[in-house]
Amino acid sequence: MVLALLTASLLSIVCFIVTILMGFGVVNTPLAQHVLFGFFTTFLVTLSQSMTMFYFIGTGKQVKDLVAALPAGPELVQRTKVFKAQVFPPALWAMLFTMATMIIGGGVHTKVAWTPTLLHTALAAISLYYNVVAFWKEAKYMIANNLLLEEVDRLLR
Give the pLDDT of residue 111: 87
Confidence of residue 4 (pLDDT cuts 50, 70, 90): very high
- 28 CB burial (10 A radius; 0-12, 13-18, 19+): exposed
From the list 115, 110, 95, 117, the residue with the least C-alpha distance to 42 is 95
Top-confidence residue, 27 or 92: 92
Instruction: Report pLDDT for 69.
Output: 83
What per-residue confidence (pLDDT) applies to 112?
A: 87
Is the pLDDT at 148 greater than 90, yes or no?
yes
Q: How far apart are the first and last CA of the chain?
A: 23
In which domain, by residue range, is 121 found?
2-156
Say whether pLDDT at 22 is over 90. yes
**In the chain, how many domains are there?**
1
* pLDDT band (50, 70, 90) for residue 113: confident
As a whole number, mean pLDDT of residues 111-117 equals 86
Q: What percent of the chain has pLDDT over 70?
A: 100
Residues 142-148, mean pLDDT to the nearest whole number: 96
pLDDT of residue 157 exceeding 90:
no
Q: Structure pTM?
A: 0.91
Contacts (Cβ under 8 Å, ≥6 apart) of 109: 31, 35
* Residue 4 φ/ψ, nearest 5 degrees: -65, -45
**Tens-place pLDDT, residues 31-89:** 899 999 999 999 999 999 999 999 999 999 999 999 888 888 889 999 999 999 999 99
Name residue 83's amino acid. Answer: F
